[in-house]
Amino acid sequence: MKSFRNNRVLQGLVVWLIALWVITAINPHFPRDWLIENLLVFVYGAILVFTYPWFKFSNFFTMR
C-alpha cells in the first residue's frame, strides 16, 4: 500500500471533498442546518485521517 504522500488517487479525493465542502459552505440558506448536516462529515473525516496508517482503502481500479 502507498502512503498518503504517494497516493495521488487519495489526494485527489481529499481535494475534491474539501472543494465541494467549501462550495456548499458559501452562503447556505440555513447555516445552522448546514452545520448540523456536516458534523458527521467532520467527525468521520477526522477519524479516517487519524486511522489511515492502520485502515487503508485499496486502489482496486488503479492497480490494473
In whole angstroms, what is the distance from residue 12 CA to residue 19 CA? 10
In whole angstroms, what is the distance from residue 25 CA to residue 19 CA? 10
Residue 48 pLDDT: 81
Residue 62 pLDDT: 59
Residue 42 pLDDT: 85
Per-residue pLDDT of the chain (64 residues; tens, 9 = 90+): 667 788 787 788 889 988 998 998 999 999 999 999 899 888 888 888 788 778 766 666 655 5
